[in-house]
Amino acid sequence: MSTAWEGMLLVDKPAGPTSHDVVAAIRRATGQSRAGHTGTLDPPATGLLVLLLGAATRLAAYVPAAPKVYAGTFRLGITTLTDDLSEPVTAQHQGPLPPDGCVREEAARFVGSGRQIPPSISARHVAGRRLYRAARKGVRLDAPDSAIHVERFDVEPGEDAGSWRFEASVSTGTYIRAIVRDLGAALGCGAAVASLRRTRIGPLDVGSAAGTIRLEELEAAMVPLDAIPLDLPSTVLSADHSRGFVHGRTADTDRPDGPVAVRDAEGALLGIGEAAARRLAPRVVLDRSTPAALVAGRRAAVITSTRSSS
């Protein structure tokens, strides 16, 4: 088996490892040292993790980031430090839980644009420090709220008292744990996420993701460099202008001002240009002259996938 590991790789992350753990395992399995994810999943969460390998790492700012779609469960009546069940319960509601109609009505209020304070245990930076690192050392940092958009937040009661199922579609930067935390606060009983699975990011679906880090499954889940979906308009350059673009020269363009995906006449992605005043200037130029690292019979570590719905 011999594969150029360069492009986008979709992985169905299991519960347990961090997103960085998954990236490290992919590097070991493929021999491609240039690899990174486009957005983390918490260790207890499962589902779609998008990785970029080789020259594609330079496209991270331009790949689809939203909407993010999640499914999972939460439990009413409890509060934890992490807003999920990965930590012991810090408070337990005494008395009856809100009726189903009240839960649905309150959940509907979260749909739309608003602002959200991230969980105290999260990767958000505050004053140059990660919130989770500061919290683990007993340091409380007051994180500012940020703008979010919730496109959909559907909830249904589960089989056990206080257990609820949900599906949500949200903007990038939105924490499902914070939505559930704030729902519990609004209901006056507390709430925490019990399970969380990311099923989709924009056009990318977990159904196309690799569930293990076996080379044959990774190959099937690879999106080649030229086929990576980008949240950009595109333009095609002639052979002469293509050569000029990769050597840093500008060209005429009729594209509106802003970033543009630039391709040659055969559809190969040359990089990202910036259109301004009817001129196209190179901003990201992909090096297509040398092949990415090749795999030569490496033994792949296996991460067992969690494919059952939450």
Q: With contact defined as beta carbons under 8 Å apart, do 298 and 7 qualify?
A: no
β-pairing, 222-224 vs 251-252, is: unpaired
SS3 of 272, please?
strand
Q: With contact defined as beta carbons under 8 Å apart, do 22 and 206 qualify?
A: no
Burial class from Cβ neighbours inside 10 Å (0-12, 13-18, 19+) for residue 286 reads: buried
Peptide bond into 98 cis (omega under 30): no
Spot the catalytic one: 42, 83, 182, 264.
42
C-alpha–C-alpha distance, residues 150 and 144, integer Å: 19
Cα dihedral 3, 27, 227, 49 in deg (nearest 10)? 140
C-alpha–C-alpha distance, residues 247 and 59, integer Å: 18
Q: With contact defined as beta carbons under 8 Å apart, do 306 and 14 qualify?
A: yes
Phi first, then psi: give them for residue 284, nearest 5 degrees: -130, 120
Active-site residue flag, 231: no
So which residues are the catalytic ones? Answer: 42
